[in-house]
Amino acid sequence: MSDTAARQTNTAFQELKNYLNTQILGQEALVESLLVALLSEGHLLIEGPPGLAKTRAIKALAQGLECDFQRVQFTPDMLPADLTGSDIYRPEDGAFRFQRGPLFHNLILADEINRAPAKVQSALLEAMAERQISVGMTTYELPRLFLVMATQNPIEHEGTYPLPEAQLDRFMLHTLIDYPDRATTRLIMDLARSEALEGRELSAPANPMTQETVFAARREALNLTLASSVADYIAALIDATRRPDSYSGKLKEWLRWGASPRAAISIERGARALAWLDGRDYVSPEDVQAIAPNALRHRLLLDYTAEAKGISADDCVYELLHKVPAP
């Protein structure tokens, strides 16, 4: 791709980022995570209290892209077919025809994923990993542009089915969001009022981004320079979660299980996405450090004694970044 085309692609993403920040106020981390997941072909798990624009964020992303969007509210009585679709018998011709479920969209919001039973969660996670679903003896391909943003409510745990660690590992990033400050809350009130007066929910961007632009941006991010020292740094961070005694006495005490190779891939792809969004042609150690908390917090299994002491996965990540020397 020529330098001019590359600049145009990056400019398109900057315009998308600016549009999202005008529609989702005070949630810059959420916007950045969405763009990183989009650039990295990953999926996103968002955890935060209700009412923090999680649904609005992915709706706005769908508005900013030439793609379709589907929200699915997960409930304890759901069945896998509620996601994948099923074969429907048609008595007029005596044949079964497949009726597609909500997974056959580009952007999926899996709202409160931890409220659905394990079979439903597994159906979604299989689609995320394989980009396909199987119903009966037939396999159906999902769209090439396919992103799942799942949400969890950290406040209420009654009637929920927590995702096992092996299934959490399917998510590229686990991003935590919190309430905006007072000034931003005031701006949100003004935005909601203006939208109500105009009878709309979201402002549409002037020029939605094409899916081909997304695919071109992904190729550009993959072609960024990643020095061998930075790649070794990523590998060392992952190794420190598996052999913590070689790096830190605290980590040895805190960690019961380390991160998988998928974590290393997520950090590498996420660091590339951050560097590309920043307009650079190389990945820096700072990119790795910026993406590490979201890529690791759901992949580290803490020891029971650490949990009893109030140690969090974030504490482990910060200890990792402190103890593993950066290039």
In this prediction the pTM is: 0.91
Rounded distance, CA 39 to CA 107, Å? Answer: 13
Rounded distance, CA 124 to CA 138, Å? Answer: 17
Q: Which helix (H) or strand (E) holds 113?
A: none
pLDDT at position 223, please? 93
The DSSP-derived string for 255-317 is EEE---HHHHHHHHHHHHHHHHHTT-SB--HHHHHHHHHHHHTTTPEEPHHHHHTT--HHHHH
pLDDT at position 99, please? 87
pLDDT at position 44, please? 94
Q: With beta carbons less than 8 A apart as the criterion, state whether 122 and 167 touch.
A: yes
Structural domains in the chain, CATH included, are 3-200 (3.40.50.300), 224-323 (1.10.8.80)
If pLDDT is split at 50, 70 and 90, which confidence band does 1 have? low
Burial status of residue 266 (CB atoms within 10 A of its CB: 0-12, 13-18, 19 or more): buried
The DSSP-derived string for 4-55 is HHHHHHHHHHHHHHHHHHHHSTT-HHHHHHHHHHHHHT--EEEE--TTSSHH
Count of H-run helices and E-run strands, the chain: 14, 11
pLDDT at position 89, please? 81
The DSSP-derived string for 226-259 is --HHHHHHHHHHHHHHHSGGGT-HHHHHHEEE--
Rounded distance, CA 324 to CA 242, Å? Answer: 13
pLDDT at position 29, please? 92
The model's pLDDT over 278-316, given as tens digits with 9 standing for 90+, comes to 999 999 999 999 999 999 999 988 888 888 888 888 999
The model's pLDDT over 70-112, given as tens digits with 9 standing for 90+, comes to 999 998 888 989 999 888 888 888 788 888 989 999 999 999 8
Rounded distance, CA 53 to CA 26, Å? Answer: 10
The model's pLDDT over 154-202, given as tens digits with 9 standing for 90+, comes to 776 666 777 877 778 899 999 999 999 999 999 999 998 988 888 888 8
Q: 36 pLDDT exceeds 80?
A: yes
26 CB neighbour count, 10 Å cutoff: 19
The model's pLDDT over 209-261, given as tens digits with 9 standing for 90+, comes to 999 999 999 999 999 999 999 999 999 999 999 998 888 778 888 888 889 99
pLDDT at position 201, please? 80
Q: With beta carbons less than 8 A apart as the criterion, state whether 43 and 269 touch.
A: no
Q: With beta carbons less than 8 A apart as the criterion, state whether 80 and 24 touch.
A: no
pLDDT at position 207, please? 84
Between β-strands 301-302 and 255-257, what pairing exists: parallel, antiparallel or unpaired? Answer: antiparallel
Query: Which has the closest alpha carbon to 69: 127, 34, 30, 108?
Result: 108
